[in-house]
Amino acid sequence: MSLYKIKLWKEIVKNHNKSKESKETKSINTDFTENNSNEYKKQINICIVMKDRIKELKEKMEQPILTDIKEYMQQNKQNKYDEIHKKEIMYDLEYKNNIKFDFNYLQYL
């Protein structure tokens, strides 16, 4: 084959591939029917609901743990300043929340 025929053949193949791609994109665009748009809207609504739920959970997580300690201590006022009891409270909260606390926080309560 001559060089000219090879170049011509490459052009034909390239044009064929381009037309093939354009047909595929047209079929994708025309496939977007009423049912698909409704399904898409449902998915968007689900995403919005999940986003709101995640926002709520983040706000709950940002509340300080020390308020929980204070509430717990107010329920048990008679032992409020007892160091041993404070340590028990910390261990309870650690167990419930899987969080490690520094006992130095307790002196500020």
Give the pLDDT confidence of 48-82 residue by residue, as tens digits.
Answer: 777 777 777 777 766 665 566 667 666 666 555 56
- Spell out the residues 6+ positions from residue 54 whose beta carbon is closer than 8 angstroms to its own: none
Segment 78-97, tens digit of pLDDT: 555 566 666 666 666 666 66
Other Cβ atoms less than 10 A from the Cβ of 73: the count is: 17
Q: Can you give the pTM of this predicted structure?
A: 0.26
